[in-house]
A and B are shown apart, each in its own frame.
Chain A
Amino acid sequence: MSLEKNIALAKALKSIREFLVLQQAQLHAIEERIVQLEQEQTHFDVLNILEDRVDNLELEHIPSDIIENIENNLEKSLTRLYLLEKQIENLESGQVRFDDIDRQIQSLLESRQILFDEINNKINELEKNKLVKLETRLSHFEPVLTRLGKLEKQIKNSELMTQELAKVLPHAIRQATQHITEQMKNEEKAGLTESLQEPVEHCLRHSIHEDTRSFANILFPVMGPAIRRAINESLKNVVQSINKTAELSFSRKGLAWRVEAWRSGRSFSDIVLQNSLIYRVEQVFLIHRESGLLIQHVHQKGVEIGDSDAVSAMFTAIQDFIRDSFSSNKTEELSSVEIGDYTVWLERGPYAVLACVIRGVTPYHFREIMRSSLEMMHAHYGLLLQNFEGDNVPLQPCLPWLEKTLQSKTKEEAKTSSHLLSPQLIGIFGIILLGFLGWGYFHFEYQQRLTGYINELQKLPGIVIIFSEFDDGKLMITGMRDPLASEPQKIAQNYGLSPEEVESVWTPYQDLTPQFVEQRLRQQLAPPSTVDIRLQDHILYLEGYASQNWINRATSASLLPGVQVVSDELLETDQFLLFLAKKTLVPPESVTLNVQERLLQITGYVDSMTFKLLEQGIQNLPQSPTEFAGIDSSGLIDAEREREQVIQRIEKMKLYFNQGMTQLVPEQKTTQQALLKNVHKLLVLSQILQQSVVLQITGNTDGTGSKILNQQLSQQRAETIINWLHQNGIEKRHLNVVPPTLILFGKNEPNPSDRNVIFRINY
């Protein structure tokens, strides 16, 4: 709307401006005319003066032609005057016109003003319309706003309700729980359980999925006892059933213990355990699992203890060592260590390890004591244990648990009869019992199984049945068997036949089918994994590589008659590895490869490029128990880099002289030796790299005395050093004097360190 208004206004103003410009141009023309008229007026004044003067003139003194001329002129002037008068009249009417124009402008302006007012009114009207529309729109919003208000209130209410709910929720749940127990009696499904089951399950699953480890750590104190209880429960059953079996053995000791058990009202197994074991836990270490730092330490009175901190760390190191060295998947852990008369039992929690140093034989249940102590400590001080940083004061409350594990057991009688419960015995009893129980069931199919067994044996290569018979509840078999053939006993097991049920006599023989011949050869030769064996038409082909010993054995061994050995493609291990190394590395002539006992030695000087290539190649060489045992490339030297370093070293060196002399300051032997050593090395390296080399020697002076004097001294000092180097075996063609770029002279305060010789390498 405002745009329309602006356009209308602009149009009105434009037409007013155009009109005004027109009027101004007319005014300008009138003004010019007035100026012209004013000039005419002055002419008019001159004429008047002239007339006066003419009147005063005495006509008789004037010649008649002049008078005539004047009269003419006058006449002309008069006509002009008349014309002027006319013009003035015109001018006056112009003034009238001007006034007229003025008036016209005025009226025009007035009419424009009216137009302007009209436009203004229109605009106002338009705006009013807009306002009305806006108002109607706003009125539409009103119900929305009220609805919003209501919603806000509702939200506030629900917050209130939540607060209220939070107050009553615990109570409600308690009530609901009571309800559950009542309902459970009626075996109904409780409402609360049902509605909570799914979200709780979901939460738990999510939480475990997100961070299994911390969940496991939280559960550690809970899970341990629970699992142990379950195991205990089942163990108890086993022990009790063993008791029954053991009851059958009426050893004297067994009977005595039985009486003891009966008298004391304890279980027989308890008494057996008590009588068979003696032990003493002498020291207990609680160790921070990650760092191996000792958290707490307790020990029996009178026990000599060393540096328990070091011991604690050592236990940890041993565990690390065992895990890294022997556990294939790095998860198996060390649980006990034997040290002389002592056994150390280790039990691990998430953040701490409990180590008990025990003398004697410890009952297995002691582990449980250790575990539960560890669990208690984790349950109470898990966070402190986790964040342990070497300060053990806050963890002193762990001491009572440690002391609890500081147990000892003595007994009057040392001889044990633990064989009553030995696992072997348990096994035998178990098998007999199982055999006995199974007998009835198996008997039914017995005959069939026997036939099946014999049929299968007959089909097997390397087994020949000569005679079989069922006699006195036993299967008797006589036959021949290649020792490499399948075990008849194992097959019997497949048919559910125990060794007692089958009596067989096998005479060994050698089966000559290729399958057995090859297998026998393999067994006889025991080829390493790097050798391929192939038997084809009585020819044994050997391919690959092996130790010289094995090759000798394989090629000279008396094999089966008629079997010929071909070992053209068999190489001695080191020879093979050398070949492999050469093929992989393709070393230049300056490099020597040598393989001995599978250890590759690389020596020689090479340029940087070759050095890098060789280094990369070395990475590709296989290292394993059958391939390279190791690669020693310490003798392989990057001559370019080495040379660079030697040059740097030489160029850093300076030799100092006594004042005004060519004599070296004493006590520079070390530098001199180092210089010689490095120059020699440089020459050798340059020769290897086929690069020329010149050692440029520059003598410097302290600047006392004349320029010539200093110049000479500089030259002499350099020559002194050249001679000295030459005497020490360096050829003169490698040495060169280079004068200093700046000769100091005429100095009053000489600097002793300026009296030197420096070296640059030119190549």
Chain B
Amino acid sequence: MIQKKICMIGDFSVGKTSLVARFVRQSFSDKYLTTVGVKIDTKLVKSTDGHDVKLILWDIAGNDTLTTAATSYLRGSAGFLLIIDGTRLPTWESALNLREAVTKQLGEKPFIMLLNKADLTEQWEIDQELIDEKVQEGWILLKTSAKTGLNVEEAFSELATQMLKV
């Protein structure tokens, strides 16, 4: 079976660990325990065209820039999820910076941008125009919620599909 390494990239507290927990263990907690270093999980997915892929998920401690440690953790990644917290506009900014840094490190790799915490509509701060602009550039963006599970499975299997295409 094919294995692929993917990294969870994004500012702190955007919900990287929560997304992995929802995806791998179907669970969610309101508590925030920041990730130190990196946490690894695995899960089997089917790409949208029916292939089995084992994803090795590297949940890297969040930061608004790429730390040296994170740079080493990135090595050999076949793709990544770029996560922002939809209720905090600054995390969008850091995600753009992070993507640039990651691309510099890995070269162009498939990625999907996740606008997480979609369940918190009241505090939502990301305008549709921002999203449209990125879609125009060919990015794939998904509104997700680790809390309700919205689009979580879809995000991972879409990324798997993208990685197999390469």
Contact = CB atoms under 8 A, between A and B. Distances in A.
Interface of A: 288, 290-294, 307, 309-310, 313-314, 317, 320-321, 323-325, 389-392, 645, 670, 673-674
Contacts of A294: 3
Given A291-B76, A389-B78, A320 B5 contact: no
A317 B2 CA distance: 20
B42 interface: yes
Interface string B21-62: 000000000000000011011100000000000101010000
A323 B122 CA distance: 44
Contacts of B72: 320-321, 323-324
Interface in B1-15: 2-5
B69 interface: yes
B54 A321 contact: no
A291 B54 CA distance: 14
19 contacts: A288-B76, A290-B76, A291-B78, A292-B56, A292-B76, A307-B42, A309-B56, A310-B40, A310-B42, A313-B56, A320-B73, A323-B72, A324-B69, A324-B72, A390-B3, A390-B78, A391-B2, A670-B121, A673-B122
Given A321-B37, A325-B69, A674-B122, A309 B75 contact: no
A293 B69 contact: no
Given A290-B76, A292-B75, A313-B5, 8 more contacts: A290-B75, A291-B78, A309-B54, A310-B56, A313-B42, A320-B72, A323-B72, A645-B89
Contacts of A389: 78
A291 B40 contact: no
Interface of B: 2-5, 37-38, 40-42, 54, 56, 58, 68-69, 72-73, 75-78, 89, 121-122
A313 B40 contact: yes
A288 B122 CA distance: 45
A292 B5 contact: yes
Nearest to B44: A309
Contacts of B122: 670, 673-674
B56 A321 contact: no
A165 B13 CA distance: 72
A317 B76 contact: no
Contacts of B75: 290-292, 320
Contacts of A645: 89
Contacts of B56: 292-293, 309-310, 313
A674 B121 CA distance: 11
Given A317-B73, A321-B69, A390 B2 contact: yes
A288 B42 CA distance: 16
A390 B122 CA distance: 42
B111 to A, nearest CB: 16
Contacts of A323: 72
- With most chain A CB atoms within 10 A of its CB, the pick from B56, B75, B78, B121 is B56
Nearest 5 A/B pairs, CB to CB: A291-B76, A290-B76, A320-B72, A390-B3, A313-B40
A323 B37 CA distance: 13
Contacts of A317: 37-38, 40, 58, 73
A291 B75 CA distance: 6
Contacts of B73: 317, 320
Nearest to A393: B1
A294 to B, nearest CB: 7
B16 to A, nearest CB: 15
- With most chain A CB atoms within 10 A of its CB, the pick from B3, B73, B121 is B3
A309 B3 contact: yes
A305 to B, nearest CB: 13
A727 to B, nearest CB: 22
A391 B40 CA distance: 20
Contacts of A390: 2-5, 78
Contacts of A674: 122
A80 to B, nearest CB: 110
A193 B123 CA distance: 81
B42 A309 contact: yes
Contacts of A291: 5, 75-78
B5 to A, nearest CB: 5
A310 B38 CA distance: 12
A310 B40 CA distance: 6
- With most chain B CB atoms within 10 A of its CB, the pick from A291, A307, A321, A325 is A291
B3 A293 contact: yes
Contacts of A307: 42
Contacts of A293: 3-5, 56, 76
A320 B42 contact: no
- With most chain A CB atoms within 10 A of its CB, the pick from B38, B40, B54, B68 is B40
A309 B122 CA distance: 40
A294 B3 CA distance: 8
Given A309-B56, A390-B3, A324 B76 contact: no
A392 B1 CA distance: 7
Contacts of B77: 291
A673 B58 CA distance: 40
Given A291-B76, A307-B42, A313 B58 contact: yes
- With most chain A CB atoms within 10 A of its CB, the pick from B2, B5, B75, B78 is B5
A673 B75 CA distance: 46
A307 B77 CA distance: 19
B159 to A, nearest CB: 14
A314 B72 CA distance: 13
Contacts of B121: 670
Nearest to A325: B69
